[in-house]
Structure 1
Amino acid sequence: MLHPLKSYFNFLWNSKNQHGVHSPFVYNLVTKCFYDTAKYTEYSTLKAYRNSLLANNETIEVIDFGAGSKVFKSTTRIISQIAKTAGISSKRAKLLFRITNYLQPNSILEIGTSLGLATSALSLGLEAKTNRAKLNKNAKITTLEGCTKTMAIAKNQCQIQNLNNIDFINTEFSSYLTTQNLQPTSYNPQPTTYNLVYFDGNHSKKATLKYFELLLPTITNDSIWIFDDIHWSKDMEETWEIIQNHPKVTVTIDTFQWGIVFFRIEQKKEHFVIRV
């Protein structure tokens, strides 16, 4: 418990707002996206999705392939409690919506669906009415989840909210990534690419770095990767440091909860700690 608290105070000490950012790309991202105060109509859908889960007191048996939970001691869990304690917060769901809406990626991969709170934010970001002029109607989200029960709830909730740009895949993450067409070959020189990858499925150093390496062949100059809970543990902080120092990584942003990664070759290697 002391580790995240110490990490948070260290984050506050080192963090800046837009006035400490000298990169035009990052400055625009922070001012036009992170600090965007517009009241998007899609926020009401995010709220309805969350409230529906918070009102659901049914229990399910959860299969956890990741690093485990710091909150739950049993695999039998109440849906409302999962949404309240383990799901993405309302504030971060809105930020994820804005990031997706601002960057308009063509293809999204989410590693860890859970109850779909983040999935809904990604989906709405692609379909936001504010971006109809540049909306890519073929943009899709592929979301991976190892637990059948939580994925079924997420799929049902997304159908209720008419979020139809999502492919739900029940799988163990490493198995899926190692069997997909991610590596270029002489027969297929252009493998699958993802413009945005949201990593929220296994908060362990070994697994996160494995996903990172497996997905590197999919990057483009416009790719954005978001790693959840980078200060969750000492191991995750070490993972974040390794990712920052990778030669293909240029710009990284630490928002405390998330580590955001860019691969823009025109940018000099730079790290930002931003209060959001």
Structure 2
Amino acid sequence: MFFKIKSYFQFLIKSTNQHGVHSPFVYNLVTKCFYDSKKKDAYPRIKSILKNNTVDINFKNAKLINRLIPYLDYKSVLIPEKSSNNIAEILTINNSISISNSEANNKEYDFIYLNINKLKENTEYLETLFSRVHNDSLLLLQAIHSSKEHQLFWKKLQDHYKVKVTIDTFDLGFIFFRKEQEKEHFTIRV
């Protein structure tokens, strides 16, 4: 617990809002999606899903994830998790997307959501995931600051040659593969 508190204070010192962002792509993502404060019809349903299930995600992050899909116009989602049905419900409210719980095919995905534990335990799995993304894909990782090992692995992911843009929101880590963009890391308060 002490580690997480210390980590959060370090995050606050490093973090910025949209005014510290010089990438047009990230600036628009932050201002039009992350900071979108309009109440959505899906939010009461999301709250109900979270209340009735043991999903390892908070309401604030669930709302953000629900806004990401339509903002980035994603259609194909991979959620290889035990809680995938609940997260899939959160994503698909008011969205028409294809959810897959199995990465058995060679399909490329727009959006992949998972807990960083899944990657940390198996770096071979990371390469499999990276082979299933395209230029505009997003790999969204949960729990990047929950332990020292997770933070170290997050930093390792930022250095990966395929990764171009990362955004740290403390609870979530966003990884983009945009070849047209310079390698950059952002620490954003949400």
The two structures have a TM-score, normalised by structure 2, of 0.92
* Uncovered stretches (5+) of structure 2, i.e. residues with no partner: none
Q: Is the 8 A contact 1:195 1:220 kept in 2?
A: yes
Structure-2 separation of matches of 1:13 and 1:210:
34
Letter in 2 for 1:140: S
Question: 1:5: which partner in 2?
Answer: 5
- Displacement after TM superposition at 1:206 (Å): 2.7
Question: 1:32: which partner in 2?
Answer: 32
Question: 2:157: which partner in 1?
Answer: 243
Residue 98 of structure 2 is aligned to residue 140 of structure 1: yes
**Number of equivalent positions:** 190
List 4+ stretches of structure 1 deviating above 3 A.
201-204
- Displacement after TM superposition at 1:201 (Å): 7.1
Structure-2 separation of matches of 1:4 and 1:125:
34
Higher relative contact order (CA 8 A, sep 6+): 2
**Structure 1 residues 210, 99: CA separation in 2 closer, same or farther (over 3 Å shift)?**
same
- Displacement after TM superposition at 1:47 (Å): 2.0
Match of 1:181 among 88, 92, 105: 105
Residue 98 of structure 2 is aligned to residue 91 of structure 1: no
Question: More deviation in 43-52 or 240-249?
Answer: 43-52
Structure-2 separation of matches of 1:256 and 1:201:
13
Question: 1:46: which partner in 2?
Answer: 46
**Counterpart of 1:196 in 2: which secondary structure?**
strand
* Uncovered stretches (5+) of structure 1, i.e. residues with no partner: 54-82, 128-138, 145-176, 183-191
- Displacement after TM superposition at 1:16 (Å): 0.3
- Displacement after TM superposition at 1:115 (Å): 7.1
Letter in 2 for 1:142: S
Structure-2 separation of matches of 1:20 and 1:201:
26
**Structure 1 residues 235, 201: CA separation in 2 closer, same or farther (over 3 Å shift)?**
closer
- Displacement after TM superposition at 1:238 (Å): 1.3
Larger Rg: 1
Q: Is the 8 A contact 2:116 2:143 kept in 1?
A: no
Question: 1:214: which partner in 2?
Answer: 128
Residue 163 of structure 2 is aligned to residue 259 of structure 1: no
Q: Is the 8 A contact 2:119 2:125 kept in 1?
A: no
Residue 76 of structure 2 is aligned to residue 107 of structure 1: yes
The two structures have a TM-score, normalised by structure 1, of 0.64
Identity, in percent, stands at: 44
